[in-house]
Amino acid sequence: MSTSVIPPTDGTAGPSNGLPPLADLVRRSTKRTRIVYGVEGNSIDDGLAKANKIKLASKLAAEYRDVQTLPPILASQQGPAGPKRPAASANGPSAPGPQAGQKLIGGPEDSQSSSNGSIPAAEPRSLVKFRHQQGFAAEGGQASSRLSQALMRKKEAREVKPEYHPQWKLTRVISGHMGWVRAVAVDPGNQWFATGAGDRVVKIWDLASGELKLSLTGHISTVRGLAVSDRHPYLFSCAEDKMVKCWDLETNKVIRHYHGHFSGVYSLSVHPTLDVLVTAGRDASVRVWDMRSRANIFTLTGHTSTVADVKTQDSDPQIISGSMDSTVRLWDLAAGKCMTTLTHHKKSVRALAIHPTEYSFASASSGGNNIKKWKCPEGTFVHNFVGHEAIINTMSVNSEGVLFSGADNGSLTLWDYKTGLPFQHLKDIPQPGSLDAEAGVFCSTFDKTGTRLITGGADKTIKVYSEQA
């Protein structure tokens, strides 16, 4: 059986019809397809990549020219590290350009495109780091080297190191109050201290032994503030019952009342040199009293919410107040007006602390960056104390530059007041029988020597921390 091939009659293919061969048609179609769709791929080289590499290589060569070779001082100190590497053969297969195994800072392409390979191989990165640390100038003292040294010196000047402060340790726990301890004050003679609590009683304790010496009753609500006069035998107390009392410590009786607040009184402070008492509370006002005549000299208004803390000092601003409206106000005592309003805090300002010798103070709130240091008298912001993310109820600072901050969750932090860096973190441990939630710290003060810290908290106890020698 035989088969025969019938030639095509439509004239579509075949060399006899004058058409090009099929292979040429396929090759031409492939070439046209590559031209049409090759733009979307990476096959076409427009030279941009090479131009970018050359640009980067020139920048690196100009920037690191000073660290390509060792300075004479380091070169003299550096001995032979081992046998010398043999030179690579020009005809051999392993001739990548510089010495085998080494790479220039800009890469092998950069070394070929920079000065025809005349730049020597770069030293290791550790040399660059060492030169920057030591501040060695390059040969000839180029301007870029001097600029680098100036920047390094400026950075080193900014890095302030804190002073050394000894660690603090809990040394005594005193029980006796039947409510939250909300106020504490130390005798100017450093013999005793007074505390006020939610049980409406003011208690006097011996500072050395921690024994109870006296209990003063008279308030009908929580005692929120205490202050002992440096110039008179007087103890002042304020409470949530709107009362401000003056106790005569010779007879242990109330001798004066200061009437005028419309709501609870949360804080008070005795002026160090004048016979003036300053109180503040829930009625959003700061009142200045004549200690002797009980007259209300000034009513300082301007805050829009509860004034949580008030402090006095003998130089301007003589009165500083922090409020729940998240502002700190500096008051002119002579004119009875506000000098400056500080609005840097984002949440309510609950605590203030004035440095005993430095002309500055700190304020604390419950937001981020919640402790801020200010310079008197204009209230210039100095820096933040970063690291105590909690609702801070109390702050105290001693003459050695130790700032204490106590928070609502029982966290305690001790700071270097000069630099704003923390050097110790503590945790308030509730007494047995107390809830874990009763670890909050509400009040604190240093004694007159600055070596003992007295705190009062929600577990109804008074804790004494001592500086370790």
The pLDDT tens digits of the residues spanning 211-229 come to: 999 999 999 999 999 999 9
Say if 85 falls within a structural domain.
no
Question: Do residues 289 and 296 lie in contact, with contact meaning Cβ atoms separated by under 8 Å?
Answer: yes
Q: pLDDT value at position 203?
A: 97
Residue 368 is predicted with a pLDDT of 75
Q: Would you state the pLDDT for residue 1?
A: 47
In angstroms, the CA 350 to CA 5 distance is 106
Confidence of residue 87 (pLDDT cuts 50, 70, 90): low
What pairing do the DSSP bridges indicate for beta strands 276-281 and 296-301?
Answer: unpaired
Between 461 and 145, residue with greater pLDDT: 461
For the chain, what percent of residues have pLDDT higher than 90?
Answer: 61
Determine the Cα–Cα distance for residues 421 and 53; give it in Å rounded to an integer.
Answer: 45
The answer to the question of residue 205 being in a domain is yes
Task: Please report the pLDDT score of residue 19 as a whole number.
Answer: 83
pLDDT of residue 137: 44
Share of the chain above pLDDT 70, in %: 75
Residue type, 376: C
Amino acid at residue number 287: R
Could you give the number of structural domains in the chain? 1
pLDDT score recorded for residue 153: 65
Q: CB of 243 within 8 A of CB of 219?
A: yes
DSSP assignment of 372-392, as one string?
EEEETTTTEEEEEE-S--S-E
More confident residue, 417 or 119: 417
Is residue 28 assigned to a domain?
Answer: no
Q: What local confidence, expressed as pLDDT, does residue 143 receive?
A: 47
Q: Is the pLDDT of residue 419 over 50?
A: yes
pLDDT greater than 70 at residue 327: yes
Q: What is the CATH number of the domain that holds 411?
A: 2.130.10.10
The confidence score (pLDDT) of residue 69 equals 73
pTM: 0.67
| pLDDT of amino acid 100 | 46
pLDDT at residue 330 tops 70: yes
Note whether residue 84 is domain-resident. Answer: no
Taking 70 as the threshold, does the pLDDT of residue 461 lie above it?
Answer: yes
Whether 275 is covered by a domain: the verdict is: yes
DSSP class of residue 129 equals: H
Reported as a single tens digit per residue, the pLDDT across 247-273 is: 999 999 999 999 999 999 999 999 999
The residue-averaged pLDDT of 187-208 equals: 96
pLDDT surpassing 70 at residue 90: no
Q: Is there a domain that residue 9 lies in? A: no
With cut-offs at 50, 70 and 90, classify the pLDDT of residue 438.
confident
Whether 228 is covered by a domain: the verdict is yes
Tokens coding 128: 């660059």
Q: What is residue 20's predicted lDDT score, i.e. its pLDDT?
A: 86
Mean pLDDT of the chain: 83
Q: Which domain holds residue 292?
A: 168-467
| Residue 79, pLDDT score | 57
pLDDT tens digits, 275-299: 999 999 999 999 999 999 999 999 9
Residue 132 belongs to a domain: no
On the question of a cis peptide bond just before residue 80, with omega within 30 degrees of 0, the verdict is no
Confidence of residue 11 (pLDDT cuts 50, 70, 90): very low
Distances from the Cα of 409 to the Cα of 268, 295, 376, 453, angstroms: 25, 40, 31, 19
Cα 447 to Cα 450: distance, rounded to the nearest angstrom: 5
Whose CA is closest to 467, among 392, 390, 404, 389? 404
